[in-house]
Amino acid sequence: MTQQLPVAELRRRFPSKFIWGVATSAFQIEGAASADGKGASIWDDFCRVPGAIADGGTGDVACDHYHRLESDLDLIADLGVSAYRFSICWPRVQPTGTGPVNEPGLAFYERLVDGLLKRNIQPYATLYHWDLPAELQRNHGGWLARDTAYRFAEYAEVVARRLGDRLVSLATHNEPWVSAVLGYERGVFAPGIKDRRIAYQASHHLLLSHGLAMEVLRGMGLKCDLGIVLNMSPVSPATDSEIDAHHARLEDGRLIRWYTDALFKGAYPQDIVEYLGADAPRIEAGDAELIAKPCDFVGINYYHPTVSSSSNPASPATSGAAVTDMGWEVAPRSLSDLLLRLKRDYRLPPIYITENGAAYRDQYVNGRVDDEQRQQYIESHLVAVAEAIERGVDVRGYFVWSLMDNFEWAEGYRKRFGIVHVDYSTLRRTVKHSGLWYRSLLRAAI
Ligand code: FCB
């Protein structure tokens, strides 16, 4: 075990108002897949496609958070965090994605928000963490349909009418690149489509839906911060060759600039539009302006860098590097470099690291999970954030992914990201070493 930094020393490197949190998403933890009038989502459908999920897992039970809300709230409070990031399941609120509200679904999120506030924890909500109402995909084209963006803005309004007075932060989307590219181009996530043209049209509609929702939410005069959450895996070329540099630049454009340029510069990057050719999305007059409506914050989810070459456009690790159980390279430096690059290239609103964390093969032994590697991963990435702050980047908060082990999408339940262990046969929660360490960091006198 490597030497641990004294927690107070690390803690002192952050501003006193810095937000410390943990994150989850609805589909990954809630379970209760058809309880109280909830409609199916595209992930409920996708989990039933043979071979789609590595261990055959589904979201039917997950961590059963829906039925364990109060004790999970106590667990979150016990960690000493100042904020909790969660997502709202659209088909729980609107079972088919349009029309009447499913009251028990919305009431669940109201209990969650009120339960957080009662425990002095700030609610950071996300409207869309990939669980599109299945009906919109089955019969209306999903995100390929422009209409879905308008449905999303209506859903945003429904949620904000009920909860907007109590939320501290509201993000429209979590990682639109994942929704578009993994869902519609590579087909490894729901809805499992493999078509580049559809994927880029979907990405445009996802961003458009963000803009439409921002317009509606702004019009409501909410006090909470409004923004969006993006995944970023900084890309570097595998070698010094010109061809690898070219591929790295393209991958950077598809992964990062496609979203940051549209949101914060008002136009898609020209090199990627040219590269896409006939697969570039159809854009209507006024779309670009809507997408670039000012945000109060941008959330960044960072896990690992990407290495790009002509033979392999996007590999998550350099050979020989330390990797997590996902095969993702552990590279905290790349997080501080990313933050500095964003500061140089864009005029961004305040940044939150809305996700960062690691999967490891934890062993539960005699009531303990000694996940030193995860603790070191989190610690080293916090040092990277502190360095970026010291160099002038406006980072306001950090959320560990994840509060607890949960359904890791196409990997099912085999990959554990939690700072709290979940025993899937009993659903018992046990705070891991990393969770105890995070709590000691948050409690450290500064
Ligand atoms: C991110 C997702 C999150 C989780 C982590 C490991 O891309 O937003 O739900 O699965 O990866």
Which of the four pLDDT bands, split at 50, 70 and 90, describes residue 317?
confident
- pLDDT digits over 400-429, tens only? 999 999 999 999 999 999 999 999 999 999
Tell me what the mean pLDDT of segment 10-38 comes to. 98
What mean pLDDT do residues 121-134 have? Answer: 99
Digit-coded pLDDT (tens) for 375-407: 999 999 999 999 999 999 999 999 999 999 999
CATH of domain 7-443: 3.20.20.80
Q: Is 167 in contact with 161 (CB distance < 8 Å)?
A: no
The yes-or-no verdict on residue 85 having pLDDT over 60 is yes
Pairing of strands 122-128, 169-174: parallel
Residue bearing tokens 């009038």: 37
Report how far ligand 1's centroid is from the alpha carbon of 431 (Å).
20
* Protein residues whose CB sits closer than 6 Å to any atom of ligand 1: 25, 28, 174-175, 178, 231, 301, 355, 401, 408-409, 417
In this prediction, residues 247-270 reach a mean pLDDT of 98
pLDDT for the residue numbered 292: 98
**Residue from 175, 186, 255, 353 whose mutation best tests the ligand 1 pocket (most atoms within 8 A of CB):** 175
Check pLDDT > 90 for residue 5: no
d(CA 253, CA 259): 9
Which pLDDT score is estimated for 127? Answer: 99
| Mean per-residue pLDDT, 88-107 | 97
Distance CA 339, CA 356 (A): 14
- 305 CA distance to ligand 1 centroid (A)? 15
* pLDDT classification of 243: cutoffs 50, 70, 90: very high
Closest CA to 79 of 406, 400, 395: 400
What's the pLDDT at 2?
53
**Taking a C-beta distance cutoff of 8 angstroms, is the pair 85, 126 a contact?**
yes
pLDDT value of residue 124: 99
Residue 412 phi/psi, 5-degree rounding, is: 65, -140
Q: Are 349 and 295 in contact (CB under 8 A)?
A: yes
Which candidate, 166, 11, 63, 10, places its Cα nearest to that of 403?
A: 63
What pLDDT is stored for residue 260 in this prediction?
98
Q: What is the pLDDT of residue 318?
A: 85
Q: What is the pLDDT of residue 258?
A: 99
Give mean pLDDT, residues 28-50: 98
Lowest mean pLDDT: which of 15-24, 178-187, 306-315? 306-315
All structural domains of the chain with their residue ranges: 7-443
Best probe residue, ligand 1, of 89, 186, 408, 419 (max atoms within 8 Å of C-beta):
408
Q: Is residue 175 annotated as part of the catalytic site, yes or no?
A: yes
* Sequential DSSP letters for 79-140: HT-SEEEEE--HHHHSTTSSSS--HHHHHHHHHHHHHHHHTT-EEEEEEESS--BHHHHHHH
The span from the CA of 74 to the CA of 431, in Å, is 12
Per-residue burial over 88-118, b = 16 or more CB atoms within 10 Å of its CB, e = otherwise: bbbbbbbbbbbeebbeebbebbeebbebbee
Q: Which amino acid is at 155?
A: Y
- pLDDT tens, position by position, 334-388: 999 999 999 999 999 999 999 999 999 999 999 999 999 999 999 999 999 999 9
* Residue 355 is among the residues annotated as catalytic for this protein: yes
The rounded mean pLDDT for the chain is 97
Side-chain-facing half-sphere of 315: CA atoms under 13 Å:
15
Res 3: pLDDT: 55
Q: What's the rounded mean pLDDT across residues 240-259?
A: 97
> Residue 226: is its pLDDT beyond 90?
yes
Does the model's pTM come out above 0.85?
Answer: yes
Q: Ligand 1 centroid to 115 CA: how many Å? A: 25
Q: Residue 354, SS3?
A: strand
- What's the pLDDT score for residue 4? 67
